[in-house]
Amino acid sequence: MIINENLTDLVKTCAYNLGFDVVRITSAEPFLRERSVAEKRIQQGFMDGLPWYTQSRVRRGTDPNVLLPGAKSIISVGLSYLSESFQQPKNGTKIARYAWGKDYHKVIKNKLKGLVSDVEERLAHTVNARWYVDDGPMLDRAVAQRSGIGWFGKNTNILTSSHGSWVFLGQLITDLDLDIDPPLKKDCGTCTLCIEACPTDAIVSPYVLDNQRCISHLTIENRGSISVPMRSLIGEWAFGCDICQEVCPVNLKAMTTNEESFQLNEFDGFDLEKLLEIDEEEFRTLFAGSSLRRAKLTGLKRNLCVVLGNLGDEDSVPVLNRALNDNEALVRSHAAWALGRIGGSIAWQALEAAVGIEQDQEVKKEILTALVMDTI
């Protein structure tokens, strides 16, 4: 018992020394309740648009012993990304806070790998371990909840007492025999601020999110068209959405991050409109090591067209006009919608000119619709 206690302390000390803000331990028992909830969400269609999120993935991801045979514990970590120097880009476009620093996958994986090496060095033997940072089958929020990193908010985020919901989560499954932490006895009480603030009504009931309505999904993982009713609701969000976190009272007293990689603000003052005119090579160079690459260049251009349409500034008409010639039909169709929404004689002329030369029938339909649209 004493040995286990010492080992648990050693693991936690090593993790805190590496910079993690919250560190807790849970067992490697299967997550049966979370499995049945996740399976139900799939059946209800709330995970549509994520073809890789299947029943079999959920079954694997809720049984740590399938992911690491012989697993005994999961080290659950949280790392804040709330930066004091955070600035939104120019022109009123908005980017979710988590995307402004370096891509968190690499940062957290390096720390988790470092944790394994440090513990191995102290124990003088190898540790069997497997790590996840939001990119494997493991249900990261289920681990965070059971280990006591935080509790589920009604917006489905994990809320930590010290850093609010502005945290990245990581998990290290190990064969170490560690002492288990209990879940926190906290909840949202009667608060419903996030549900009321969500512009797309994506939080269909407390703790239930319809992915197909969530701006975060629509602007990041979604590879196709954004449905017309959703476009105006997206507002200024060009990548992700922070509204349900910004209104959360738990986040009012959240501590900021000490992690240097998340304090960078590489795109401070960057004019996102420029994205509409760059090619893949420039995109790769400009956004190397950034989470924004998850949306791909075509997805970001699509989102920007929607945002520029919503901002309604006639100064955006020339760049949207040029986007009507983009190689990707997805970009051309959303540029047409934006021009229709902004309106005015120059936008109208651009659409008229494009309708005569557009070969893609879907884009042509969008241009024709844009020509008769009500402006904002």
Stretch that binds ligand SF4, among 79-87, 184-192, 260-268, 298-306 (CB under 6 A): 184-192
**With binding defined as CB under 6 A, does residue 310 bind ligand SF4?**
no
Residue 157 DSSP code: P
What three-state secondary structure class fits 374?
coil
By beta carbon distance, the residue nearest ligand SF4 is 153
**With binding defined as CB under 6 A, does residue 164 bind ligand SF4?**
no
Select 147 or 200, whichever has its Cβ closest to ligand SF4. 200
Shortest spacing between CB 149 and ligand SF4, in angstroms: 15
Q: Give which of 29, 14, 5 is closest to 77, Cα–Cα.
A: 14
**With binding defined as CB under 6 A, does residue 149 bind ligand SF4?**
no
**With binding defined as CB under 6 A, does residue 289 bind ligand SF4?**
no
Amino acid at 181: D
The one catalytic residue in 118, 134, 179, 360 is 134
Shortest spacing between CB 307 and ligand SF4, in angstroms: 14
Spatial distance between the Cα atoms of 373 and 352, rounded to a whole number of angstroms: 13
**With binding defined as CB under 6 A, does residue 35 bind ligand SF4?**
no
3-state helix, strand, coil split of the chain in percent (to 5) is 50, 10, 40
Structure-derived torsion over alpha carbons of residues 54, 31, 164, 211, reported in degrees to the nearest 10: 20
Burial 258-289 (b: 16+ CB within 10 A, else e): ebebbbbeebeebebbebbebeeeebeebbee
Token reading at 11: 């693991």
Angle (CA) 144 150 152, round 5°: 85
Spatial distance between the Cα atoms of 272 and 95, rounded to a whole number of angstroms: 10
Binding mask 212-251 for ligand SF4 (x = CB under 6 A): --xxx------------------------x-xx--xxxx-
Select 91 or 212, whichever has its Cβ closest to ligand SF4. 212
Select 205 or 327, whichever has its Cβ closest to ligand SF4. 205
Stretch that binds ligand SF4, among 14-22, 84-92, 100-108, 193-201 (CB under 6 A): 193-201
Select 5 or 187, whichever has its Cβ closest to ligand SF4. 187
Catalytic, 210? Answer: no
Q: Give which of 375, 318, 366, 371 is closest to 342, Cα–Cα.
A: 375
Place of tokens 């996030």: 194
Stretch that binds ligand SF4, among 97-105, 115-123, 142-150, 197-205 (CB under 6 A): 197-205
Residues lying near ligand SF4 in the complex (CB under 6 A): 153-155, 188, 191-194, 198, 200, 202-203, 209, 214-216, 241, 243-244, 247-250
Active site residues: 134
